[in-house]
Structure 1
């Protein structure tokens, strides 16, 4: 069922959050009268995850996506995160759904794009990498400066420079 995200309830990188969604296709009775749908609250949403590795792109209010409705009441299984008996005899209820998003949204302003030529990362902000180490087997090109240990690659100076075949000292700021 096509829905719009009305609110997002999440806690950073912890357990996947929940959204409140509004079904976009309204109901109609036999006389042609419209019956608007109500907001469905606390719907778990999809993250692409395997074990403890994940791609975290939490939904935002206004996003449009789909909910997938379970055949039975799945509230105990969601709570326990394990095989569980249905909490009630309810079947195919909107309350028992998960949100899968990102179908009819505007073009993104930041993204990771995978193509046959490579990977492109675009952001209006900054990119932060937290890792024990980074190994690159490639050429590295930048139009900006590179700073390591507080020393600028473009604007550093060398001490102990002597004419002839000598070597200079380490760069200084």
Structure 2
């Protein structure tokens, strides 16, 4: 409220109207010092998507403080903030925050600095409680449209990248009850010491149809038909009319 000399504080005129009002003002004054969660912007990050332990970042709370005259008093930057990663043991989804991201930060009820430094059970580093210095970033609100993502919808799962998708493992299995489609704008490369195909193979006459070449040697168990002529069952003809013909001679 505003007093005789023009000072404006946080109390209302009714806060001194009764003991209840006075006690309520006292309780709210204490609760105002308790930090729970805050919308923050990422200012810097130690990690950039590489395979490494969970890193740290710095945050800027986005909701300003106000003085008694409702003037904005921006918060300072919070440094050395651990951030959340979905991880169990050595299994993780690596999705490090980036500068400019907006997300939630929660504030621990006790000083977590000793645990951050040792990654082990420890006493509180100080007597502070509900402090912004003990922030943990969870991330993921009020951000823009991604161009690299994994999308889950009623039509299925989409994995999209503007650059490259890499998979690495001793064994990779692709299994479909109906079909697997591979489409590339320029080339599909299949490189292995041994390639086995179990099923009928067809080269279509679509927009990408063309010649087929093979370094060989080529061993075929059954017949080969080219232009309707069987490699096994065709007959040789003689240049002299009436001369006998003979089937192909098998190689020795």
TM-score (norm: length of structure 1) = 0.86
Per the TM alignment, residue 124 of structure 1 is displaced from its structure 2 partner at its CA by 0.6
Q: Which has the higher helix share?
A: 2
SS at match of 2:96: coil
Give the TM-score normalised by the residue count of structure 2: 0.60
Q: Which has the higher contact order (CA 8 A, sep 6+)?
A: 1
Secondary structure at 2:115 match in 1 = helix
Number of aligned positions between the proteins: 165
Where 1:157 maps in the other structure, the secondary structure is: coil
* Aligned match for 2:183, one of 102, 127, 143: 143
Structure of greater Rg: 2
Alignment of 1:25-36 (within 5 A): 25-36=63-74
1:33 Cα deviation (Å)?
2.2
Larger proportion of strand: 1
Pairwise CA RMSD of aligned residues? 2.3
Q: Matched residues in 1 for 2:154 and 2:111: separation?
A: 43
Q: For residue 16 of structure 1, what is the aligned residue in structure 2? A: 54
Q: CA deviation at 1:104?
A: 0.6
Deviations 1:51-109 (A, max 9, x none): 11111111111100011000010011122222211011011111101101111110101
**CA-CA distance at 1:50 after TM superposition:** 1.1
Task: Flag structure 2 segments of 5+ consecutive residues without an equivalent.
Answer: 1-37, 193-202, 219-223, 233-252
Q: Report the Cα distance in structure 2 between the residues aligned to 1:110 and 1:149, rounded to whole angstroms.
A: 27
* Aligned 1:71-82 pairs, distance under 5 A: 71-82=109-120
1:4 aligns with 2:44: no
CA distance in 2, matches of 1:130, 1:156: 30
